Structure 1
């Protein structure tokens, strides 16, 4: 018998938050008979899964809560989960008394009990969920996400994540392999491995077992039959040793796209950020990757106007962008976050107008690169996994190096790998014709 209890989840933030939301939904379906709805007004339980990495998502949280409270049906509960929940805890309920419960990013397994306790707040960052078996997390029928670790041991001075997700603990490799195998058995052909720093995987387990490298984990997962693609995010440039890079280059199941968070191209600013590497190290690792993987796409995160950033530091960042030729850049202007060491650098903060100018300059530089390179794909043939059908009769999917491609097609192509001849290009996507 199907349940008439409806769950609505609004997710703010990163891919890890998306996966956490899927775990929340799976837990509540399994233990409390909730089914998901896309219509908030129909929901008996409304959950906002939050991000606190940037300031805007925190501001957006309280705006969203207020709107949901006005529009929700009588008797519907509201809960707040995720990183902002970990950070603000009881203050969320003080500020918005109509919130029924708060669950931190490291306490997802408690969701099934918390929803029945008005005013409950579970936000311990010491809670260990590394050996808890969550339900499967699927982006679509063909792609699934699997967490390989919880928490973060890095002390980047701008980042609040260690204060919201706790210390890093790796999930046992056999649990990860089992989760991937289950996803493949259910039809997934692509897996996304998630962690704050995936390539520091295996240094600490709850059961004190010996270390197990990320490279070895990739090799373990690659043995699974019918798994076609392995993606992961985010690796840390500091831990991109030769063994990892060589495995990436030779392992045919690993997607030819890697996210390398630069943050800054200035060695001085990287030191102030406590990133652990230099401009030269980053360039060396990127160049080695490009050399071994000719069709590689490299994406990155960059923060401009970090406290103390000089014009010379900013130019160092632009220099790295020019040299590496990033295929996608997630650009941010520095945003002060509570409980981060960078708050002590308030006297070195960059005026907002200068920060905005630098951000614009970075965005424009990257745009020019894409305008020069994306048209080179026109006339080529690429292979894509078709993932969805659009209302306009187009299908869309991604190449092995994660370029999005659109083409005319039908639902018969869904889940298939097809060749597409590219006929046009924008800065962010390609359009083509399916070759039968």
Structure 2
């Protein structure tokens, strides 16, 4: 009789991919089967995020809830980024947790489950060449890690402390995994890394010279693969060769996530992002000159220490000029082990933006972005998109999928088209949702 595994995944796509690796490893090597009911699980895992403070605070509440409902002798493990930077502290704060496994130590999952009250959180551990167990349930849309860790030192970010220094995964392993996924039915692959377009700069062992642009080209040659996406590229590394490859390669989706963080060059310098407002806008202009229908998403932090109203207006100015299709925006959150936190502790001239002012700026940013989305979505009526249908809503007989520009579209049609790419003419807009009709 197989043991039951329940896993809760918090945070980014990287965490989702780590969870998929954990599940595959435990299914193949320890004979676990996945359950959606934590009460029947023999092993409960929480794969954590620490990019912001709130999910971290929520962790101990989650642990307490699982401890109350778990069956006798069931184990609880904490994985991911919060595990990396809190480590033994999690074990000291709660007796309910059996082990803590850092984000850089995922390949050790089948070993640590047999341990009691241990924390393995070595951020220098190198698993870049580790071959994880294959997922026998290849999804229509799959994810592949192309690097681990991060070599940037952004002053607000805890990721280098939780995932270690950047190492690229050998291209041969990436290509082999991509071919296997496509053979098992995957049509779209999302390439993952903290800075994907810095790929190839660091390998832990000797490896043929290859950069991200070349990797994209090689992956695109896999027969049967329809679409390639990637996240997140760093604006600093968006050279002309990269932009031209995205523009000219028909398998690369015409949607890109460009984390802006701030529109103020002064704040960007304090964040140590390595680019200016002008550089960011130049890269956008270059891409849109070659890809007029390009969809651009971004991340923005408001209220970074010392941000003035003028700095914030620069951010609104970039929003107006770029008209982002997706926007993830947050109020700055102090994180341990970051340069910004040290500034706040030792330099009295560096102050947090007042909470009420930061909240008001975030609201202004979000409200204007909603207006832009409404304006731009109305322009979609009558346009034709190729949609990869991903799911079917039986209650309303609606197919749902995304265009290569990442627009979510729903169509009244039969379920048999799930997994197919079809042309759809947009006929109606409901909020951020586009409704369309199949073109026969």
User: Is the TM-score greater than 0.5?
Assistant: yes
1:6 aligned partner = 4
User: 2:357 pairs with 343, 354, 357, which one?
Assistant: 354
Q: How many Å apart are 1:282 and its aligned residue?
A: 0.2
Q: Which moved more, 1:384-393 or 1:225-234?
A: 384-393
Question: 1:375 touches 1:426 (CA, 8 Å); kept in 2?
Answer: no
1:369 aligned partner = 372
2:347 aligned partner = none
In 2, Cα distance between equivalents of 1:44 and 1:391: 33
1:333 aligned partner = 331
Cα distance change on mapping 1:427 and 1:287 into 2, 3 Å: farther
In 2, Cα distance between equivalents of 1:280 and 1:135: 45
Q: How many Å apart are 1:62 and its aligned residue?
A: 1.3
User: 2:422 pairs with 412, 418, 422, which one?
Assistant: 418
1:342-382 Cα offsets, whole Å, 9 max, x none, are 01332421010000010001001101101111011122222
Q: How many Å apart are 1:137 and its aligned residue?
A: 5.7
1:385 aligned partner = 388
Q: Which moved more, 1:417-426 or 1:133-142?
A: 133-142
SS class of match (2:153): coil
Question: 1:139 touches 1:145 (CA, 8 Å); kept in 2?
Answer: no
Where structure 2 has 5 or more consecutive residues not aligned to the other structure, the ranges are 345-349
Where structure 1 has 5 or more consecutive residues not aligned to the other structure, the ranges are none
Cα RMSD (Å) of the superposition? 1.3
Question: 1:298 touches 1:326 (CA, 8 Å); kept in 2?
Answer: yes
User: 1:82 pairs with 55, 80, 83, which one?
Assistant: 80
Q: Which moved more, 1:227-236 or 1:133-142?
A: 133-142
1:106 aligned partner = 104
Q: Which moved more, 1:220-229 or 1:403-412?
A: 403-412
Question: 1:149 touches 1:195 (CA, 8 Å); kept in 2?
Answer: yes
SS class of match (2:124): coil
User: 1:250 pairs with 244, 248, 253, which one?
Assistant: 248
Q: How many Å apart are 1:409 and its aligned residue?
A: 2.5
Question: 1:137 touches 1:144 (CA, 8 Å); kept in 2?
Answer: no
User: 1:50 pairs with 21, 29, 48, which one?
Assistant: 48
1:404-423 Cα offsets, whole Å, 9 max, x none, are 11122332111111122222
Question: 2:138 touches 2:184 (CA, 8 Å); kept in 1?
Answer: no
2:257 aligned partner = 259
SS class of match (2:310): helix
Residues 1:394 and 2:390 aligned together = no
1:268 aligned partner = 266
Cα distance change on mapping 1:90 and 1:343 into 2, 3 Å: same
SS class of match (1:7): strand
Q: Which moved more, 1:65-74 or 1:309-318?
A: 65-74
Question: 1:235 touches 1:259 (CA, 8 Å); kept in 2?
Answer: yes
1:296 aligned partner = 294
Question: 2:84 touches 2:103 (CA, 8 Å); kept in 1?
Answer: yes
1:4-29 Cα offsets, whole Å, 9 max, x none, are 21101100000000000000000101
In 1, Cα distance between equivalents of 2:438 and 2:42: 44
SS class of match (1:235): coil
In 1, Cα distance between equivalents of 2:224 and 2:342: 51
Question: 1:137 touches 1:146 (CA, 8 Å); kept in 2?
Answer: no
1:377-400 Cα offsets, whole Å, 9 max, x none, are 122222211111124221111001
Superposed, which structure 2 residues align to 1:303-322 within 5 Å?
A: 303-322=301-320
Cα distance change on mapping 1:196 and 1:137 into 2, 3 Å: farther
Question: 1:19 touches 1:137 (CA, 8 Å); kept in 2?
Answer: no
In 2, Cα distance between equivalents of 1:338 and 1:144: 33
1:199 aligned partner = 197
SS class of match (1:131): coil
Q: How many Å apart are 1:323 and its aligned residue?
A: 0.4
1:162-207 Cα offsets, whole Å, 9 max, x none, are 0000000000011100010000000001100000000000011111
Q: How many residues align?
A: 434
Cα distance change on mapping 1:140 and 1:30 into 2, 3 Å: closer
User: 2:23 pairs with 22, 25, 33, which one?
Assistant: 25
In 1, Cα distance between equivalents of 2:209 and 2:309: 43
Question: 1:381 touches 1:420 (CA, 8 Å); kept in 2?
Answer: yes
